[in-house]
Amino acid sequence: MNETLRTGHEVIQDCLRTLDGSPGVYRMLNAASEVLYVGKARNLKARVSNYARPSGHSARIARMIHETASMMFLTTKTELEALLLEQNLIKQLKPRYNVLLRDDKSFPNILISGEHPFPQIKKHRGKKSEKGAYFGPFASAGAVNRTLNQLQKVFLLRNCSDSMFESRTRPCLQYQIKRCSAPCVGKIETAAYGALVGDATRFLEGKTTSVQADLARSMADAAAAMEFERAAALRDRIRALTQVQQTQGINPRGVTEADVVALYLDAGQACVQVFFIRANQSWGNRDFYPKTGSGAEEPEILEAFLTQFYDDKEPPRLILLSHPVENPDLVAAALSARAGRKVELAVPLRGEKAELVENAARNARESLARRMAESTTQMKLLHGLAEAFVLESPPRRIEVYDNSHIQGSNAVGGMIVAGAEGFVKSQYRKFNIRTDAGALGDDFGMMREVLTRRFERLLKEDPGRKTDVWPDLLLIDGGAGQVSAVAGIMTELGVDDIAVLGVAKGIDRDAGKEEFYRPGERPFALQKNDPVLYFIQRLRDEAHRWAIGAHRAKRAKSVGATPLDDIPGVGAARKRALLAHFGSAKAVARAAVADLMSVDGISEAMARVISDHLSTKG
């Protein structure tokens, strides 16, 4: 019995007997079989023997060794394979002592479509499956939208969808405000529009000087020919182009393509700033706050960040770093394999590249200072919340639920999450109501469905409650009835140890007079100027905003929906062709198989599928 409870360097020493010098990945587990740490090694025996020493470790490593009750090993053919496997396991297991990148969203791009004679310019996020030219990444949707807004003024490219383009009979507002050349109604010829597309492409590739020179030359020619209206239009386009460059801020001359990655570490908390430079232009920056694995230092944090950040993103040719990483050659090889070309890591010490890194590091330092100040305020509010509602401890994770519908139509449930770092938007969820409760406008039934789906999934994915995705507090928009119903649902699900709090508008539904409900307790109120009251109002309002937004998106989608959307094998192209040929979905439903076959792209088999599907719907 005592043998199974042993922990520390002696347990690790025993593991050495089965190891050789192969590369691979090791896992350190505690007495409860929870993974504490995942690491890689060029030589497993050599690496693990370091942990077997009784002294000479940092405080972080010493704590980890002390908790280790067992180890697991996987050998690989190369150290590069070990690195890739290590990062997959870290993302999957989220060990306490590993550095972990928490925010891993995709980044938007600008797409100039390639399958239409008059290409569309638009924002694109996700898999690059559509044909066309992609430019990016941009740090945020806001950075893309600002650039697109100015590019439309300069190059007059359309941003409407193909179906909107086909349906126009007269120019839209974009043409009137000089942000589109109106190719939809023949205001510009194909060749002239193609020249605009070429100019936009050159600009996004960084050839801004030649684009500006061409525009200036055209403006001079127009003025010489006394075509003053055309000259004025070209002048406005040059101004807009200059404004694009000014809003981008940093525009390095000697760096064509790079990501600038700078780390700032303070009191165990880290901020990583990433600046995206493409085509000699800055396309924005984003800050990240990775978990530091209970005290990791800069080289380990930065190496883990790079391998996790570029796991599903294409790295640029050059990555400028504020600190060296632990295994630069190995990381560069992994990123090069990911990109299918050479990727270079550099820590510049002088010149323009060093200035770029210094600027990113300053942003990282300032961002972390702001976050730490906000976190202190947030923790005070969470302590106040625990005191006001007699909770055992300040909640680490609060989940707030709300429903939204109009007379039962397009019913949606929304969940937001808040904790010590404020709103955790990556954890927000929406639930399309599937039961009859939505159509009946039954708020109790909708809440039952949302909570049941949420916690049944949690129980399936993490029955032992080992991760931090379990809430400490549920906040419900409602009074005694809703709170009682939620408590009953949680009891049925076997998770009745989570605190439930209901907030109702109170007298005259006036903000500031909210009443609060706990299961089996009398309602009460907080003082009108209590910071905890304002905090709860913000939580409730954010949940309401999220649910309303999800409902509006669903309603907007349903407005443009047709029975054709549900037919297997009928995608956007076939749907457009059918509607263009017959004029409406009703006309398609009345059409015979032979008539359907006269539409481009509709075979006899496809025509029968369409006819059979629509006849059963009728």
Q: Is position 375 within any domain?
A: no
Domain termination residue (choose one: 534, 558, 582) = 558
Q: What was the pLDDT predicted at 78?
A: 94
Q: Is position 597 within any domain?
A: yes
Query: pLDDT band for position 2 (50/70/90)?
Result: very low
Whether 82 and 40 have beta carbons less than 8 Å apart is answered as yes
Q: Is position 374 within any domain?
A: no
Same-domain check for residues 283 and 426:
no
pLDDT digits (tens, 9 = 90+) for 143-201: 888 888 878 888 889 999 888 898 888 899 999 888 899 999 999 999 989 988 988 88
Domain termination residue (choose one: 74, 97, 120) = 97
Task: Name the strand (E) or helix (H) holding 535.
Answer: helix 531-559
| Of residues 361 and 587, more confidently modeled | 361
Task: Please check the confidence at residue 68 and state whether its pLDDT lies above 90.
Answer: yes
Task: Please check the confidence at residue 3 and state whether its pLDDT lies above 80.
Answer: no
pLDDT digits (tens, 9 = 90+) for 219-273: 888 788 887 777 777 777 777 666 655 555 556 778 889 999 999 999 889 999 9
Residue 460 belongs to a domain with what CATH number?
A: 3.30.420.340
Residue 585 belongs to a domain with what CATH number?
A: 1.10.150.20
Same-domain check for residues 544 and 412:
yes
Phi, psi of 495 (to 5 degrees): -125, 50
Task: Please check the confidence at residue 406 and state whether its pLDDT lies above 80.
Answer: no
Q: What was the pLDDT predicted at 244?
A: 59
As a 3-state breakdown, the chain gives helix, strand, coil percent values, each rounded to 5, of 50, 20, 35
Q: What was the pLDDT predicted at 283?
A: 85
Same-domain check for residues 80 and 152:
no
| Of residues 434 and 365, more confidently modeled | 365
Same-domain check for residues 119 and 219:
yes
Task: Please check the confidence at residue 618 and state whether its pLDDT lies above 70.
Answer: no
Q: What was the pLDDT predicted at 209?
A: 63
Q: Please state, in angstroms and rounded to a whole number, the distance separating the CA atoms of residues 49 and 26.
A: 12
Q: Is position 391 within any domain?
A: no
Same-domain check for residues 216 and 282:
no
pLDDT digits (tens, 9 = 90+) for 117-141: 999 999 998 888 889 999 988 888 8
Query: Rounded to two decimals, what is the model's pTM?
Result: 0.73
Same-domain check for residues 540 and 406:
yes
pLDDT digits (tens, 9 = 90+) for 5-56: 677 888 999 999 889 999 999 999 998 888 999 999 999 999 999 999 888 8
Q: Is position 382 within any domain?
A: no
Same-domain check for residues 264 and 185:
no
Query: pLDDT band for position 208 (50/70/90)?
Result: low
Same-domain check for residues 425 and 292:
no
Same-domain check for residues 553 and 600:
no
Q: What was the pLDDT predicted at 185?
A: 92
Q: Is position 135 within any domain?
A: yes
Q: In sequence order, what are the residues at sequence separation of 6 or more whose Cβ sits closer than 8 angstroms to the Cβ of residue 62?
A: none
Q: What's the average model confidence in pLDDT over 586-592?
A: 84
Q: Is position 388 within any domain?
A: no
Task: Please check the confidence at residue 558 and state whether its pLDDT lies above 70.
Answer: no
Q: What was the pLDDT predicted at 315?
A: 93
**DSSP β-bridge partners for residue 617:** none
Task: Please check the confidence at residue 211 and state whether its pLDDT lies above 90.
Answer: no
Q: What was the pLDDT predicted at 479?
A: 86
Q: Please state, in angstroms and rounded to a whole number, the distance separating the CA atoms of residues 423 and 168.
A: 42
Same-domain check for residues 416 and 533:
yes
Return the percentage of the chain with pLDDT > 70, whole number: 93
pLDDT digits (tens, 9 = 90+) for 287-328: 999 999 888 899 999 999 999 999 888 899 999 999 999 999
Q: Which domain holds residue 154?
A: 109-247
Average pLDDT, the chain: 86
Question: Which residue type is seen at 269?
Answer: Q
Same-domain check for residues 270 and 191:
no
Domain termination residue (choose one: 189, 214, 247) = 247
Question: What DSSP assignment string belongs to 225-260?
Answer: TT-HHHHHHHHHHHHHHHHHHHHT----SS-SEEEE
> CA torsion, points 119, 123, 126, 128, in degrees to nearest 10?
20
- Looking only at the bridges linking them, the beta strands covering 24-29 and 35-41 are antiparallel
Same-domain check for residues 206 and 271:
no
Q: Is position 482 within any domain?
A: yes
Question: Which residue type is seen at 357?
Answer: V
Q: How many domains does the chain have?
A: 5
